[in-house]
């Protein structure tokens, strides 16, 4: 009986990997990449997004437009909103309003992009426990509304817990959240900057990551920090930095990551975004 069960699991894993979609088929853009252009003209920024040849986008606000107007403009350009970022504070203030906005945008994933830290309230193990409990609560509410709740770590979460032995606060978040209620969006840059191997982390939690943020780090830029921030000059066009994208994307594709968003935070996004897409579309795994 045990051997039969093991065979079924192995066969299911083989089939899921066999039919896993190529990352290039689900390669989109996080619209935060065009934040400066959105301030000048929301529709102009969407024109730029369309010019990059993407179909899927992740929303980070709707600029000067109301959600329904924003969705209409996306539709005109053949852009499909898959996910959206909403602050931790918005969830705490009124989760029903967040869900209503997400439904209006037509997105599937509702993602918190940053923990509730401040100068006087640094990220801590206590905060991680509290976040995990709230994530399960918010995840249940999102699931009831037909949405999926997610969290996007920014590097602060990869410090070791008091228990030590290599366990991080991210491990704690994974352990204390329910897989059917909470998914994770890996930002490869923010994992890599802490000194952790993104490909190994994907393999460690093959059922917890559904999305990836893609951005690269300047060659020779120092790793091993957990501040949740870094200078713009440390971010470069994908393929020009030190991250092994073939290894990372192969690992992501292997575990069935569903959506891949380029997020450009370089100093010159209008130059870097086309360069990054050219590299990614030419990458052979």
Over residues 14-23, mean pLDDT:
55
Residue 156 domain flag: yes
Residue 90 domain flag: yes
User: Which residues lie across from 29 on neighbouring strands?
Assistant: 57, 262
Tokens of 61: 């606000």
Over residues 58-87, mean pLDDT:
97
Residue 4 domain flag: no
Residue 8 domain flag: no
DSSP-based three-state secondary structure for 228: coil
Residue 222 domain flag: yes
Q: Are strands 109-112 and 80-85 parallel, antiparallel or unpaired?
A: parallel
In the chain, how many domains are there? 1
Among the residue ranges 10-14, 60-64, 100-104, the one predicted with the least confidence is 10-14
- What CATH number does residue 152 fall under? 3.20.20.150
Q: Are strands 216-217 and 148-151 parallel, antiparallel or unpaired?
A: unpaired
Task: Report the predicted TM-score, pTM, of the whole model to 2 decimal places.
Answer: 0.91
Residue 150 domain flag: yes
Over residues 22-42, mean pLDDT:
96
> Residue 17: is its pLDDT beyond 90?
no
Residue 10 domain flag: no
Q: What residues make up the domain containing 190?
A: 24-282
Tokens of 123: 């990220």
Average per-residue pLDDT for the chain:
93
Residue 19 domain flag: no
**Alpha-carbon radius of gyration of the chain:** 19
Residue 242 has what pLDDT? Answer: 98
Residue 165 has what pLDDT? Answer: 82
Q: Are strands 259-262 and 209-214 parallel, antiparallel or unpaired?
A: parallel
- DSSP assignment of 117-185, as one string? -BTTB---HHHHHHHHHHHHHHHHHHHHTT-EEEE---SGGGSBPTT-TT-BHHHHHHHHS-TTTEEEE
């Amino acid at each position: 009986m045990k051997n039969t069960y093991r065979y079924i699991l192995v066969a299911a894993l083989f089939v899921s990997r066999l039919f896993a979609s190529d990352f290039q088929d689900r390669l989109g853009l996080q619209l935060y990449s065009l934040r400066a252009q959105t301030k000048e003209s929301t529709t102009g920024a969407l024109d730029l997004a369309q010019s990059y040849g993407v179909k899927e986008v992740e929303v980070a606000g709707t600029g000067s437009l109301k959600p329904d107007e924003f969705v209409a403009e996306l539709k005109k350009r053949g852009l499909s909103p898959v996910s959206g970022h909403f602050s931790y504070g918005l969830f705490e203030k009124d989760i029903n309003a967040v869900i209503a906005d997400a439904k209006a945008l037509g997105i599937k994933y509702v993602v918190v992009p940053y923990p509730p830290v401040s100068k006087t309230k640094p990220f801590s193990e206590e905060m991680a426990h509290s976040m995990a409990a709230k994530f399960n609560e918010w995840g249940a509410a999102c699931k009831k509304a037909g949405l999926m709740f997610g969290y996007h770590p920014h590097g602060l979460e990869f410090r070791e817990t008091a228990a030590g032995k290599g366990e991080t606060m991210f491990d704690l978040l994974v352990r204390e959240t329910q897989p059917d209620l909470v998914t994770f969006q890996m930002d490869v840059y923010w994992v890599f900057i802490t000194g952790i191997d993104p490909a190994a982390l994907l393999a460690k939690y093959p059922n917890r990551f559904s999305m990836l943020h893609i951005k690269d780090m300047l060659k020779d830029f120092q790793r091993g920090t957990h501040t949740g921030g870094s200078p713009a000059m440390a971010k470069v066009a994908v393929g020009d930095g030190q991250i092994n994208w073939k290894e990372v994307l192969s690992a992501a594709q292997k575990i069935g990551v569903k959506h891949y968003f380029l997020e450009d935070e370089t100093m010159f996004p209008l130059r870097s975004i086309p360069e990054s897409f050219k590299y990614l579309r030419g990458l052979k795994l």
